[in-house]
Structure 1
Amino acid sequence: MGRRAGQHGGVADLLWDDVKCLFDPDLMGSLPDVRVPDASVEDWQAVLDLVAAKGWKCQYSEGERVLPVPRAEAVLSRPADAECPDLRVWPTAYVLAIFRFYADDEVDFDVDLRELQGQERLDVFCGFLREIGRRLGKPVLMDPEGDSDHPVLGFDVEADRVVLLADPQVR
């Protein structure tokens, strides 16, 4: 499968020099929130299926216990006082996304900006958002840590790529 320019092969979604301040842990917090709003249990399951289909390394755990990845409805219907499970997904060996099953109406995960430095890793991150956004047909938004509802970038369904949603120069 050759990657041709124009199919996201030759052209990156975002250029590191344009967005690197959005990936500065001192400005954004080191663990920004990435989310798919207006989601459903089916969307969560689609993400779990995508992880399996892509063969991404993953680890599901509840507290200290590592378990096989369950069906989304089983995770999301657990008792309110149960430990919040998480699913760690490595789209590549050096980039980790941690999905947290807080609610069935929002697919929610964290990334560590300290791992996302430079164009190559930015491309991996954008590709990861694009895969999820395409599979769900929904936007995937990144907010600064602790500041939801002010996304700075995200997957745009109509553009079919990751776009800036805030001026990187604005603080």
Structure 2
Amino acid sequence: MADLLWDDVRCFFDPDLMGSLPDVRVPDCSVEDWQAVLDLVEARSWKRQYSEGEMVLLVPRAETVLARPADAECPNLRVWPAAEVLAIFRFLDDEVIDFDVDLRELQGQERLDVFCGFLREIGRCLGKPVLMDPEGDYDRPVLGFDVEADRVVLLAEPLVM
């Protein structure tokens, strides 16, 4: 059974309303949590690409990435949990696991199910909530993985379209 139904949440996947790249985050994290996510990506054999600037490299350990100099270019890890569904992790802070998704790739029930499954995997791995906020509007999550419910739930009232 689907965590969310497309007809109930389609407004939260409208790029004109939410911005095309909403912010997805796991708050209250540590370097160990980052490493757990890197290990999860490896264990699930999701297609991935780590880069620093234009240079594509092997995925390093989390403590190495997060210990880079403050003036270094921010590395990113591109992860495809399914074909044509991309999440871009940005190593900005060891206390928040932060990634973007492109709402234009998450249209319809099938893609919504992939996205919810991805959030579930991360949330279960860390035992923490995974929250999606409108682009540039932190701390106003509209949906996310709820640890207690063990599924993705709505955190805001859907907009009437």
1:99 aligned onto 2:89: yes
Q: Does 1:116 align with 2:106?
A: yes
Partner of 1:125: 115
Q: 4+ residue stretches of structure 1 with deviation over 6 A? A: none
User: Residue by residue, what CA displacement relative to the aligned partner does 1:42-100 show, whole Å, maximum 9, x if unpaired?
Assistant: 00000000000000000000000000000000000000000000000000011000000
Tell me the CA shift for residue 169 of structure 1. Answer: 2.0
Structure 1 SS opposite 2:123: helix
1:148 aligns with 2:138: yes
Superposed CA deviations along residues 8-65 of structure 1, whole A, max 9, x for unmatched, are xxx1000000000000000000000000000000000000000000000000000000
Residue of structure 1 aligned with 2:64, choices 74, 85, 90 = 74
Pairing partner for 2:16 from 23, 26, 38: 26
- Aligned position for 1:6: none
Query: 1:8-27 counterparts in 2 under 5 A?
Result: 11-27=1-17
Q: Percent identity?
A: 84
CA 1:20–1:73: 2 relative to 1, 3 Å: same
State how many pairs are aligned: 161
Please give the per-residue CA displacement for 1:101-123, whole angstroms capped at 9, x wherever unaligned. 00000000000000000000000
